[in-house]
Amino acid sequence: MSDHPVVTPYGDQETGKKGQVTKMFDRIAPYYDLLNRVLSVGIDTLWRKKAISLLAVQKPGVILDIATGTADLAIEAARTLRPQKITGLDISPNMLRIGEEKIRKKGLGDIISLEVGDSENLRFETGSFDAVTAAFGVRNFENLLKGLTEMNRVLKPGGSVVVLEFSKPRVFPVKQLFNIYFKNILPVIGRLKSKDKNAYTYLYESVQAFPDYENFSDILVKAGFKNPEYKVLSFGICCIYLAKK
């Protein structure tokens, strides 16, 4: 049972959230990177950089990037942390296809490997990774607690989790401007450019329904993590959550 309302891209009439999310990302994959850059005016790149920089002290050797999509976070981690190995996992084959191409072009194929998989049922053994990361992924899980508990399971004791996710700004006027932009402007651009009329409405609705700040930190604890902390980015539009196993 989820402790927050479950928002799905295409409503109730189709498959469960997991099937709908896979279908949505498979559809928008060719437009995903460009839309990220345009809709966030490039700030999403800085958010990922900041998230990965928090792992620099730990210098993780083996990293799992959950919901890796087109692999931007995995690529940033490979470049700045130079670990031995990064596994990027995602449920959408089309997102991974774009990621594979980027990794190949950047010559990072010896560090990063991508695979199709579901974060809620990981094939990896308990205690396999020094760090587990997820950027804009956990909000899309069908069962958030199950996905986070799996992320905890595959982490080594003492390992770190870093989650980057949208949050709801609380301060005037960012809160008001963010709502106008996210609710009214972004879905229109998204619809025109991604050819999926629901994807960017789902983005707004799923952020509204998703636990943030202390509420998300509490769920990390329920999933087995210790010492959760969060760092607010861009006046609360985004948050980085950090915790240990």
Ligand X SMILES: C[S@@+](CC[C@H](N)C(=O)[O-])C[C@H]1O[C@@H](n2cnc3c(N)ncnc32)[C@H](O)[C@@H]1O
Per-residue tokens: 46: 């800085």
Q: What is the Cα–Cα distance from 165 to 239, expressed in whole angstroms?
A: 6
Among 9, 60, 83, 137, binds ligand X (CB under 6 A): 137
Give the angle subtended at the CA of 164 by the CAs of 114 and 234, to the nearest 5°: 140
Q: What is the Cα–Cα distance from 170 to 173, expressed in whole angstroms?
A: 9
Give the angle subtended at the CA of 109 by the CAs of 105 and 115, to the nearest 5°: 110
Binding track over 189-218 against ligand X, x by CB under 6 A? ------------------------------
Contact status: 150 vs ligand X (CB under 6 A):
no
Among 23, 55, 90, 212, binds ligand X (CB under 6 A): 90
Contact status: 52 vs ligand X (CB under 6 A):
no
Residue 172 CB, nearest approach to ligand X (Å) = 28
Among 68, 160, 167, 198, binds ligand X (CB under 6 A): 68
Among 20, 87, 140, 201, binds ligand X (CB under 6 A): 140
Q: End-to-end distance of the chain based on CA atoms, in angstroms?
A: 24
Question: Considering only 88-96, 151-159, 191-199, 215-223, which stretch makes contact with ligand X by CB under 6 A?
Answer: 88-96
Three-class secondary structure of residue 63 per DSSP: strand
Residue 203 CB, nearest approach to ligand X (Å) = 8
Contact status: 239 vs ligand X (CB under 6 A):
no
Contact status: 92 vs ligand X (CB under 6 A):
yes
Question: Considering only 124-132, 136-144, 166-174, 209-217, which stretch makes contact with ligand X by CB under 6 A?
Answer: 136-144
Q: Which residue is nearest to ligand X (CB)?
A: 69
* Cα distances (Å, whole numbers) of residue 234 to 46, 175, 230: 10, 11, 13
Q: What is the Cα–Cα distance from 192 to 171, expressed in whole angstroms?
A: 30
